[in-house]
Structure 1
Amino acid sequence: MTGVAVPPVNRVEWEGAVRIIRSIYPPIDLFEDIADPADWPLLISAEQKTNPRIMASVGNIDLVPPGRRVGGLGASYLMASFTHVSPDRPSRFSGGSYGVLYVARSYETALFETIYHHARFMARTAEPAGWTSQFREIILKVDAALHDLRGGSDEFGLWLDPQTYQAPQQLAASLRGAGSDGIAYPSVRQAGGECVALFYPDCASNPIQGRHLDYHWDGKRVDLVRDAGSGAVFRVVED
């Protein structure tokens, strides 16, 4: 970080924070079990003797330090982002060599964040118009001391570019290597929204499933969102 401003560290405590994920990702039995996370390597070894595909489900737990692993009901929603990583799936604060748990302060911000990335995928693959994908809302608590980019400083602009991730990935790698728990930042997809990028699963807790959602693709953008439970349909109005 030599020659580059280091963001200040502030405590972020959000009750009712929101993450929206694809519904195709089921809970992972190992993480949901009551077993102590310290026993997971032994359980995986035993399970592989009868189920060689277990690693495809669990991912690489070695990417999460033993003392920072979480287990129990809902733990899949916290752990999976860290055990299933790939350079083919980079994000704003990771080149794909380590996991990041992205969480928004509100449902609306989480919605706009996921709509943006889903629309990019749909455009790249030239998908036809229609109700295309199902998502689920995860409501959780965030409690961590994070490097904070929400201050509005001009120095932070490079790390908040809406399109280019090289600079924020470098920042995140440096901060994480120095022991940071993550980054708080203003959403670049919804004006006034706030997000966090957590480097470890124990920075969040109490995940519970909320609404099931359907996104409608009109061939150019996600224009409608449907609450699958109530059937209510909402039009997406961009800023």
Structure 2
Amino acid sequence: MVMLNQLAALTGEQLQSYRLVNSKFPPIALFDDVAGADEFEVLYQIQALTNPRLQNELGRLELIPRAEIPFGIPGCSYATAPFTHVNPTGSRFSDGSYGMLYLAGTMDTALAEVRHHQNLYWSKVQRLNYERFVFRGLSCTFADMGMKDAASIPMADPIYDPDDYTHAQRLGRAVKEAGNPGLRYSSVRSHGNYCWALMTPRPVSSIVQTAHYEMIWNGQITSVSKISEA
């Protein structure tokens, strides 16, 4: 298994990346309504008095220190949501006890990654014959300073197993415990392209909506198409 100290650190290039989120879940405006942690605390306490759904909308705030939230950037809510709404079943580099912001080097790569996971998820739902899923495309700008580079690891390594995330999650845990902000890796679903797994939203300087995409399910995802511009 690859060791963390074998991976080079990236040098701080400013990068453009892409992500998809399910459009039925609206962005959480509260993160974008303030410029700093102090303002957030005040506004959160005020809104919590009148909005009983606020905690569900914001997710588990205890999972991310306020200092890690990039208040004041365009799309702060998009950057923060993956760390407060954690998938308990985990992901490639997370065992489900902490969140990660996954980004792809191209929108086609993001679509390939999401298509795979949608196929996997909906194939377990019995008697689902037809469905239409709409996703919001996001464009993200971030700096990779200090992130570890796993893209140098051959695709035959266990961290790139298409189904078993055991080794990848061990690497993800090591990256997190070492305090590294993230990891660059090769896409398993779109060969030859890169993805990033961010352990914190702090490197993000902007994340904005681009377009909407539609995936059609007929026993599997049979088509993917852009249906609107931002």
Normalising to structure 2: TM-score of the pair? 0.90
- C-alpha deviation, 1:17, in angstroms: 0.9
Q: Secondary structure at the match of 1:196?
A: strand
Q: State the partner residue of 1:34.
A: 34
Equivalent runs, 1:218-233 vs 2, <5 Å: 218-219=218-219, 221-229=220-228
Runs of 4+ in 1 over 6 A off after TM superposition: none
1:188-209 Cα offsets, whole Å, 9 max, x none, are 0011111000000112221110
Equivalent runs, 1:81-96 vs 2, <5 Å: 81-87=82-88, 89-96=89-96
CA contact (8 A) 2:70 2:204 kept: no
Equivalent runs, 1:1-239 vs 2, <5 Å: 4=3, 6=5, 7-11=7-11, 13=13, 15-72=15-72, 73-87=74-88, 89-126=89-126, 128-144=128-144, 145-153=146-154, 157-219=157-219, 221-229=220-228
**1:14 and 1:136, CA in 2 relative to 1: closer, same or farther beyond 3 A?**
farther
1:23-75 Cα offsets, whole Å, 9 max, x none, are 11211121110342233233222222222221101112232222221234411
Q: State the partner residue of 1:234.
A: none
Counterpart amino acid of residue 147 in structure 1: K
Structure-2 separation of matches of 1:59 and 1:229 = 29
Extract unaligned runs of 5+ from structure 1. 231-239
Structure-1 separation of matches of 2:188 and 2:14 = 19
Extract unaligned runs of 5+ from structure 2. none
Q: CA RMSD in A?
A: 2.1
Normalising to structure 1: TM-score of the pair? 0.87
Structure-2 separation of matches of 1:14 and 1:137 = 20
CA contact (8 A) 1:14 1:105 kept: no
CA contact (8 A) 2:10 2:147 kept: yes
Counterpart amino acid of residue 78 in structure 1: A
Counterpart amino acid of residue 52 in structure 1: P
Identity score, percent: 31
- C-alpha deviation, 1:158, in angstroms: 1.6
- C-alpha deviation, 1:215, in angstroms: 0.2
CA contact (8 A) 2:4 2:175 kept: no
